[in-house]
Chain A
Amino acid sequence: MSWWTPQVTAIFWGLFQALVILLGVVLLGAVLTVVERRFLGLWQDRYGPNRVGPFGTLQLVADMLKIFFKEDWIPPFASRGLFLLAPILAFASLLLSFLIIPITPGWGVADMHIGLLFFFALAGINVYSVLLGGWASGNKYALLGALRASAQTLSYEVFMGLSLMGVVAMAGSFNMRDIVAAQENLWFIIPQFFGFITFLFAGVAVTHRHPFDQPEAEQELADGYHIEYSGMKFGMFFIGEYVGMVLVSALIVTLFFGGWHGPLLPPFVWFALKTSGFLLLFMLLRASLPRPRYDRVMSFGWKICLPLTLINLLATGAVMLWVGA
């Protein structure tokens, strides 16, 4: 077997890692749909789904079975191609961003030097899923949701990029592994606190999670851009939202909380612990905060977060020049 060289082994090992991470993330996204309902129940002094299996653990299986057998309906007034494309984009774009997340020193799909920029690019593509979904549905609520989503995502992506530039400047690289390595002694949450805060807001807004869920506000828009979707197409939007939640949590951990760094416990456990902490924060935000008015979301983004990130970036640059000089 002369073709079985170490390079081939490396390729297969990389493929295996990629598959494991892909399945892990999708599964985590699916499990989160149930875990979130349980936690919301806990915080609202009720139980949540606890009937299927011990402590409701098999609820996910029940939900999956149900959604697979639902009628997969495409409205006659929808524009078919775009209607089919939107959920695929929604699911794939944020899932692809997991390429750049280094989970442990040995695990991670790709070690790209553009790293963060790849995430920004895919977050930009993610807007299209909502926009196309809302447009192709031929429904006014869906269109309103899509309008809101695109305006909101555009505004929040402006300072999402800027909020991370402080981190990039301090690490001196877009590569995620370099950024993690730069946090070995001091997590970036301390020098980049405002960057962290604004990235958290932007992350919540980009994934359309509460309290920035205006695009899919149930009460005003009857679920916004995915109102016409049913069956597994809706499921892809839904799981995509949770994948986005996992992605933003993992990004926050990697960029601001030292990734896998931590004493005693193995790297993966640290990474998982920190990520689940942020997933919990996402759920807590949903459980506690009301949805602000849409214009306030926009003015909060442009008038408060954007200046804050700019000041943060300026201050970071000034301090780095001063210390370096």
Chain B
Amino acid sequence: MDRNKRPIIDTVRGLVPATGSLLRTMGTVFMHGFRKRETVSYPEQPVYLPPRYRGRIILTRDPDGEERCVACNLCAVACPVDCISLQKDEADDGRWYPSFFRINFSRCIFCGMCEEACPTSAIQLTPDFEMGEYDRQQLVYEKEDLLIDGSGKDHDYHFYKVAGMAIAGKDKGQAKDEDTPEDVRTLLP
């Protein structure tokens, strides 16, 4: 039958399921009043952050308690917003270290690319976001603000123990799994 010939009947027919739908919606919404609330009342109720959460950036130390950072600048290069700034220096024992290391957290977007770029597991992101400050300048963290006493997520890694770089007390060839360097003169014809 042609629908347009019975407008009144069709209207009434359409109204019944529509009314039912509206009432059911209202009932569902009303029953939500008896459900548990999803809100986490944050400052009182601690919020769970997964271990890999990308929050406040730290500088870690190797298992011997020495700075891991070798001031290679890879983090500063990887940083998309250029918020890392550092200067290389060399200690008396031959180790490289940053004479200053500065992260401007008012620029940082917590993308974690510095952590990915770091060859020595020195720079790491932590599950902490409570960094609010009233003064913008307070968001610029210096090396002493960033450096922690522990080794962060990577406990056993020790760059100078596996790398072929000579420092005081460890010559070339003495690193873990490293062969003694070939004396090129023995290869001469």
Which residues of chain A from 284 to 317 have a CB within 8 Å of any chain B CB? 284-285, 287-289, 303-304
Q: Which of B11, B25, B35, B38 contacts A288 (CB 8 A)?
A: B25
Could you jot down 6 A-B contacts, CB within 8 Å? A42-B37, A43-B30, A45-B32, A45-B35, A46-B39, A287-B29
Q: Which residue of A lies closest to B41 (CB)?
A: A47
**Interface of B: prevailing SS:** helix
Query: Closest 7 interchain pairs by CB?
Result: A288-B29, A46-B39, A288-B26, A45-B38, A42-B33, A288-B25, A43-B32
Task: Say yes or no for B36: interface residue by CB 8 A criterion.
Answer: yes
A247 to B96, CA, bound (A): 78
Q: Which residue of A lies closest to B8 (CB)?
A: A307
Say which size band chain B's interface belongs to. 10 to 19
Task: Say yes or no for B137: interface residue by CB 8 A criterion.
Answer: no
Q: Which of A44, A47, A285, A289 contacts B32 (CB 8 A)?
A: A44
Query: Is A43 touching B25 in the complex (CB atoms < 8 A)?
Result: no
Q: Which residue of A lies closest to B26 (CB)?
A: A288
List chain B positions with a Cβ less than 8 A from chain A: 11, 15, 22, 25-26, 28-30, 32-33, 35-39, 41
A289 to B30, CA, bound (A): 12
Q: Which residue of A lies closest to B35 (CB)?
A: A45
Complex contacts, A303 vs chain B, CB 8 Å: 11
Query: Is B37 touching A45 in the complex (CB atoms < 8 A)?
Result: yes
CB distance from B122 to the nearest CB of A (A): 41
Query: Is B15 touching A47 in the complex (CB atoms < 8 A)?
Result: no
Complex contacts, B33 vs chain A, CB 8 Å: 39, 42-43
A44 to B30, CA, bound (A): 9
Query: Is B25 touching A46 in the complex (CB atoms < 8 A)?
Result: no
Q: Which residue of B lies closest to A50 (CB)?
A: B41
Among B22, B28, B33, B41, chain A packs the most CB atoms within 10 A around the CB of B33
Q: Which residue of A lies closest to B33 (CB)?
A: A42
A44 to B37, CA, bound (A): 8
Query: Is A46 touching B38 in the complex (CB atoms < 8 A)?
Result: yes
Q: A42-B32, A284-B30 are in contact. List 16 more A-B contacts (CB 8 A).
A: A39-B33, A41-B37, A43-B29, A44-B32, A45-B35, A45-B37, A45-B38, A45-B39, A47-B39, A284-B26, A284-B29, A287-B29, A288-B25, A288-B28, A289-B25, A303-B11
